[in-house]
Amino acid sequence: MAAEPYSTESIAFRSALDVIRGVEPRVADAISAELADQREMLKLIASENYASPAVLLAMGNWFSDKYAEGTIGRRFYAGCRNVDTVEALAAEHARNVFGAAHAYAQPHSGIDANLVAFWAVLSQRVETPGLARAGVRQVNDLSEQDWAQLRAEFGNQRMLGMSLDAGGHLTHGFRPNISGKMFDQRSYGTDPETGLLDYEALRATAREFRPLIIVAGYSAYPRLVNFRIMREIADEVGATLMVDMAHFAGLVAGKVLTGDFDPVPHANIVTTTTHKSLRGPRGGMVLCDDSLAEHVDRGCPMVLGGPLPHVMAAKAVALAEASRPEFGAYAHRIVDNARALADGLLSRGAKLVTGGTDNHLVLIDVSGYGLTGRQAEAALLDAGIVTNRNSVPQDPNGAWYTSGIRIGTPALTTRGLGVQEMDEIGGLIHAVLSGTTAAAAPKGGLSKAHHVLDPAVADQVAKRASDLLAGFPLYPGIDLS
């Protein structure tokens, strides 16, 4: 019997690996091993997903060889007509998918997107009364003396963002990130009893602190944010409302989050990554209203290096995919699966921050198992379940060891797993955490880092996880054997 012919996708990736293997076989082997690992693991990291073969292939081409500083039609290098095409397509798809007035597809990452947004807002605010009297209207018109004055004023600008332990992100004004050095930052948190956002407390803080920028959005908050209220608060104190939707952009694109919970109609400026729930390449993007568009478009060279045209090509492909009806169905399944996973954990006695979820992620407080987040993360990995540790509100273990595990459903939903499988996965997680104990530290006492997982539990869970995934193959059209 003749062998089955390879699919187009298999031929494409096999050929690419053969070419790479001819130069550095160890890189080709590592790429193949990564696919094998991802096929075998229950990927529950909330910020990860699986890009389509079309998105992956769009990144490996001659666009990688092209410099394209500047913006569409206004480049600092010649020969960028094809880059203009793919960047314009990415921006067009983004505007259509999200209903945005303006889209900027150049940021290399979410952090870069946030930097572009911060500087766009600051640049717009150059038109302050003091500088207006000096006749200064545009950043490009500033003299060295003007910049000296502006630097002093920028150093006094204030940002109000969600606290890390409540689910915020480092790029929302915290010291390890440049945003914490650019701005005088203050945090808003959640109600200590419910874990939910307290909008009236946030309003009171905004009235007292008078920030230039209020940042909404999160990386570990399992509920929805009312962006209409956030905009009301920002307008009341004269602040710009910036929303970082990196985690939930796919839910916005898929029309799961609408009305008050869709940030785009309410925010002045929105940033996002293009991977995570959006299922595109690793990169960033900025959406904004018309008043900020010209400032956002100066992202390169203001804070960005040369754009990555090959990644912008992949963004255009991913956003085209996100415009299809099937993406909306996928986005709704993400939330259905997250709720089923939360219910599966709760029914087995796990403690969840806010008691459940309304979005794509679940935050487990593992202190009830006698573990730190770092111990739980390592134990779950031993059993073939990939997660990441995360702080919980008022976390006694700090941001390194933590007391929580953050899990999400975008990746497994891409593989086709549904609510029945999510309930069982909740049971597998509970089994691992229940079968793990804190280990002794080298100098006595219990360690926050070390753990002991019952080998029988590890083997049983790993086998069941493998059996589950066998029914939902990853990239079934790709055969590298």
355-358 CB contacts, 8 Å cutoff, 24+ apart: 355/195, 356/222, 357/222, 357/223, 358/222, 358/223, 358/224
Residue 158 carries which side chain, given as an amino acid letter?
R
- Please identify every residue annotated as catalytic: 67, 69, 244, 273, 276, 282
Angle between helical axes of 419-434 and 325-346 (0-180°, round to 10): 40
| 3-state SS track over 31-100 | HHHHHHHHHHCEECCCCCCCCCHHHHHHCCCHHHHCCCCEECCEECCCCCHHHHHHHHHHHHHHHHHHCC
Give dist(CA 272, CA 249) in Å, integer.
7
462-466 CB contacts, 8 Å cutoff, 24+ apart: 462/383, 462/384, 464/424, 464/428, 465/41, 465/42, 465/383, 465/384, 465/385, 465/425, 465/428, 466/40, 466/384
Cβ distance 109 to 308 under 8 Å?
Answer: no
Give dist(CA 407, CA 44) in Å, integer.
5
Helices (H), 386-475: 398-401, 410-415, 419-434, 455-470
In this structure, the dihedral spanned by the alpha carbons of residues 58, 60, 66 and 72, taken in order and rounded to 10 degrees, is 10
Cβ distance 113 to 276 under 8 Å?
Answer: no
